[in-house]
Amino acid sequence: MKHALPPRPELGTRDGLSYALFLPAVEPRAGVVILHGAGSAKESHFDFARAAVAYDFAALAYDARGHGRSDGLFGPGAIDDARSMCRLMRDHAPRLALRGSSMGGALAIHAAAADGRVDAVVAICPAPEDFLLRGLRADRLDGFDADREALEPWLETLDLRAATASLAPRTALLLLHARGDEQVPYTVSEELFEAAGEPKRLLLIPGGHHRSIQHDLELQAESLRFVERALAA
């Protein structure tokens, strides 16, 4: 039996950032920008991008600086880079959501807060700046190239809880966290949920680990349904 090949993305670069753009066969209802975690790359989230296309969403995954094929070092420009990808997505879709995992989950919240026009954020096991700072100081942040001299003072200026609180009511927030997360405790998402205003939702998943939610098909679908509801609100 022959199976259809999965849709292939349009590959490109913008401002030195390598991206993959997935477009549905029809006019996109909205676009989803996908932010990966520390040491990961855009290709790790192509499964979610293809799931988004099945909902008639456009999806854009990109390599953060210091990762994959993007230029430069990961550092204080990360939020501006995410916003650059939002602008690129707005060339293809009128409305926008962000979906990020771990470090990317935190960046998605910060980028949406800075942008002010994002309809929804899906943050999976978001890693706050104090966790990243501890990893940086203990030399545990590996798998990517970072501007370490600039990264630490920048992280000290960030406040994920305040950024989360600023999203409401413009941006709906879905927090997903595995109770078995061995890197970022699920209580982080509980605290962010408490800080967030409506509309918001928190899903704590029994067991699992830091990366298990990202590729769970049921939770991918639930994330996309959450975006649909945010668009309809």
Confidence of residue 139 (pLDDT cuts 50, 70, 90): confident
Query: In the chain, pLDDT over 70 holds for what percent of residues?
Result: 97
- Residues spanned by the domain of 56: 10-232
Confidence of residue 135 (pLDDT cuts 50, 70, 90): confident
Is residue 1 assigned to a domain? no
* pTM: predicted TM-score of the whole model, two decimal places: 0.95
Is residue 152 assigned to a domain? yes
65-87 in b/e form (b: 16+ CB < 10 A) is bbbbbbeebbbebbbebbbbbbe
Output phi, psi for 202, to 5 deg. -125, 125
| Predicted confidence (pLDDT) at residue 208 exceeds the cutoff of 70 | yes
Is residue 25 assigned to a domain? yes
Domain containing 148 — which CATH number? 3.40.50.1820
| Phi-psi region at 201: left, alpha or beta (left = phi > 0; alpha = psi -120 to 50) | beta
Whole-angstrom Cα distance, residue 31 to residue 57?
5
- 29-73 pLDDT, tens digit per residue, is 999 999 999 999 999 999 999 999 999 999 999 999 999 999 999
| Predicted confidence (pLDDT) at residue 152 exceeds the cutoff of 90 | yes
